[in-house]
Chain A
Amino acid sequence: MERPGAAWAAPGLAFFFVFALLPMAGVVYLSFTSWDGLTSPKFTGLSNWNQFLSDGAVWQSTLLTGILLVGNMLVQAPLSILLGVWSAGYQRNRAVLSAVFFLPLLFSTAATSIMWRQLLDPNFGVPSKLGWLLGGNANLFGSQWGAITSLVLVTSWQYIPFHTLIYQGAARSIPETLYQAAAIDGAGRVRQFIHITLPQLRNAIITSSTFMVVGGLTAFDIVLLLTDGGPGTDTAILPFKMYQTAFQTYDFGYGSAIASFLLLVATGISLLLVKASGYDKMTSTMEGL
């Protein structure tokens, strides 16, 4: 009798329905229409979807989204793990440095992007003064790799502290006894790291990766403020392409098709994450400890 009935979840579910589920259904519906934002949508059947399937630009966007995601993970995951484990130590200098490491998190993504756009200006920013380091003309935003590197740099700068904290918390809860046993066995630092630390961080790695993937699918503001999808369309990731199609070219029907595709990919990723993490098995990690 002390168990809550389904009615407890009803208000929240209704709220989620109106502001999340209904819009999702709406996006799919709109993808079958043509709408300019001013007049009523006209039902056009599969025309948007036909265009979508033959649109090279959309596939390029999808590829770019994947590239950026992988690039970010490759840079952020190792650094965050190393920094997190390092700062889990209780030495005082580590505490002070950890406090400094936290600082990028104080800024919103928009603030960070705007700040970095200025700092990376070729004539007045850091590259102009550090020409010897960056080799020559510091035209970061003029090449695809320059632009992608800038995006990964800025995203990492902002989010590595966040992931570091996740790993720091997880590393601190690794029982000391495991390390002591390994030390007795003669395992050196590197082996301890590989065979004890990393496996114990498994849940943290999953959590951190979840956030990275979700972040990659929504990294709209950084792209808009740093490269505006440029040069040309070289960093026009899917969320950006959707925004541009709908709100700058006023083709809300096609924009909805792109958005529906984004939804599909995201739902697929959610399912994969849930399977990989075992979230839906509803087990506590405290069990058996």
Chain B
Amino acid sequence: MKQRPNYAAGVAAVTWLLIIGVPLYALINTSLHGESVYADGGPLSAPTHLTTVNFGTVVSSGFLRDIGNTVVVAAMTVVIVLLFGVPISYAVVRGRGWTSSAVFRVFLLGLAIPAQAVIIPLFLIINHLGLYDTLWAIILPTAAFALPVSVLVLSGGMRDISGSLYEAMALDGASPARVLIQLVIPLSRGAIATTAVFAALQAWNGFLFPLIMTQSGSDKVVTLGLYNFVSEYGANVPALLAAVLLSAVPILIVYLFARRYLVMGLMGAGGK
């Protein structure tokens, strides 16, 4: 679109840049300062007297293990969501009869339902299954509640596969499994990426489930680690913000190496 430069939009964009940039600057700046410097200067002080002692404090409190746990939770959630979501969507899109549309409706009904509303009985079920205070107590409910959106996105992606391709495979005498593996999955890569990103972010952001379902340090996830950090270090603000910064590192790594898929996954949610 060759037009004269859009000054209004440019100004707005720069303003937004400041809104994002200033807090981030404050974050990085504070995490590199000692406690007394922070008490005097505040978060927007000049970047002098920098130190990395805060990161040492954070790491020695076992924060890296929390990050590891969260990565495991996110990975397993994605695996379970895809493992169940793909066949369900496949059955919904290509299945015949009232069952497939009924199944779809069941998941659609759960679209806006917050997982937190059912935390109380979930606690009982998890307890009953002997999974209390394990990572599974977080993974399983998170995956279950990510299913509605995932089924929606996956079935949307599968529906876009042209019917003639299905017919071609039918003429070949392909079984449903073969159709799924050779046709559907390759062609719905975008939707699968979107679902994976969404499920991973749900797991990454999860706070209430870990808060209620886990207790011991060995299965603490990052969100809970930060929450505990506030009381553990008596609000040593620089160390706290260093922990916040560190908590973003895994996603930053994914962003740097798989930016295309991450962004495509997030964009794909509305790209249609």
Residues of A within 8 A of B (CB): 1-6, 8-9, 11-13, 15-16, 18-27, 29-30, 79, 82-83, 86-87, 89, 94, 97, 100-112, 114-116, 118-119, 124-126, 128-129, 157, 160-162, 165-170, 172-173, 176, 179, 189, 203-204, 207-208, 210-211, 213-214, 217-218, 220-221, 224-225, 239, 242-243, 246-247, 252, 255-256, 259-260, 262-263, 266-267, 269-271, 273-274, 279-280, 282-286
Cβ-defined partner of A273 (8 Å) among B94, B111, B226 = B111
- Expressed in whole angstroms, the minimum distance between the Cβ of A114 and any Cβ of chain B is 5
13 contacting pairs across A/B (C-beta < 8 A): A1-B170, A12-B84, A13-B88, A13-B106, A16-B147, A108-B205, A124-B43, A157-B23, A169-B266, A169-B268, A203-B270, A218-B116, A274-B108
CB closest chain-A residue, reference B140 = A19
Cβ-defined partner of A126 (8 Å) among B43, B107, B179, B269 = B43
Q: Apart from A8-B90, A86-B13, what are 19 other A-B pairs with CB-CB below 8 Å?
A: A1-B173, A2-B166, A2-B170, A6-B97, A8-B95, A19-B143, A24-B118, A79-B16, A87-B13, A110-B205, A111-B247, A114-B226, A115-B27, A116-B23, A160-B16, A166-B266, A189-B6, A221-B208, A282-B155
- Expressed in whole angstroms, the minimum distance between the Cβ of A107 and any Cβ of chain B is 5
Q: DSSP majority for the B interface?
A: helix
B109 engages A129 (CB within 8 Å) = no
Q: DSSP majority for the A interface?
A: helix
Q: How far is the CA of A13 from the CA of B80 in the complex (A)?
A: 13
- Expressed in whole angstroms, the minimum distance between the Cβ of B207 and any Cβ of chain A is 4
Q: How far is the CA of A260 from the CA of B121 in the complex (A)?
A: 11
Total residue contacts A-B, CB cutoff 8 A: 327
Interface size class on chain B is 35 or more
Residues of A within 8 A of B117 (CB): 24, 27, 239, 242, 259-260, 262-263, 266
Asked whether any CB of chain A lies closer than 8 Å to the CB of B55, the reply is no
Residues of B within 8 A of A112 (CB): 244
Taking A13-B106, A220-B208 as contacts, is the C-beta distance between A242 and B118 under 8 angstroms? no
Taking A6-B103, A111-B223, A114-B226 as contacts, is the C-beta distance between A100 and B17 under 8 angstroms? yes
Residues of A within 8 A of B205 (CB): 108-110, 221
CB closest chain-B residue, reference A116 = B23
A267 engages B267 (CB within 8 Å) = no
A119 engages B43 (CB within 8 Å) = yes
- Expressed in whole angstroms, the minimum distance between the Cβ of A177 and any Cβ of chain B is 12
B179 engages A108 (CB within 8 Å) = no
A129 engages B114 (CB within 8 Å) = no
CB closest chain-B residue, reference A246 = B120
B112 engages A214 (CB within 8 Å) = yes
Taking A8-B90, A110-B226, A214-B112 as contacts, is the C-beta distance between A86 and B6 under 8 angstroms? yes
